[in-house]
A = this chain, B = another copy of it.
Amino acid sequence: MKFCPACGNQVNLAIPPGDNRERFVCAQCGEIHYQNPRNIVGTVPVWDRKVLLCRRAINPRYGFWTLPAGFMELDETTTQAAARETLEEAGARVEIQELFSLLNVPRARQVHIFYRARLLDVDFAAGEESLEVKLFDEASVPWSELAFASVEQTLRFFFADSASGNFGLHTGDVVHSLHAD
């Protein structure tokens, strides 16, 4: 940020009174512009113990496989975001179930949140941001071609819980990356 979104004048980094970290503060109107992490929200869409994955048609990680997920938008809830992203990226209608994973990705300034979801039918189809969408059982998942570490962790949790029959909530931090950016 270089300019004030409120008045268009220059912003500087400064610690506001009563605060303890640097913020972008407008030199003209004094407005403080906070920046905060963003939520990526998606689903683990399941049909007959198989999971629906999307091959990415966009960067980053073009051509790699991911769970349907994307940035949570203003004026929606996490479950609405999860269902919307699943419809947009995989053309899939789901019933949202329990919160399944919440993984911090501080390096990307994001929190990744996945819900388990039941596919309502198998009439899915690649959306604009996907090259193809396909159901995978554990053995057939393209483990070496997954787009993001949070997706890999969530899938490993899912198949482990699926094998045990007990689905839990999985929380943690993703500190490594699957790609060399």
Contacts and interface: CB of A to CB of B under 8 A. Distances in A.
A6 B4 CA distance: 9
Contact of A35 (B6, B74, B106, B128): B74
A156 interface: no
B106 A76 contact: yes
A77 B104 contact: yes
Interface residues of A, number: 40
Contacts of A33: 5
Contact of A7 (B2, B18, B79): B2
Interface string A12-39: 0000001001000000000001111111
Closest 6 CB pairs of A and B: A3-B8, A77-B104, A1-B5, A36-B38, A8-B8, A169-B169
Interface of A: 1-11, 18, 21, 33-39, 71-79, 98-99, 102, 104, 106, 109, 111, 128, 169, 171, 173
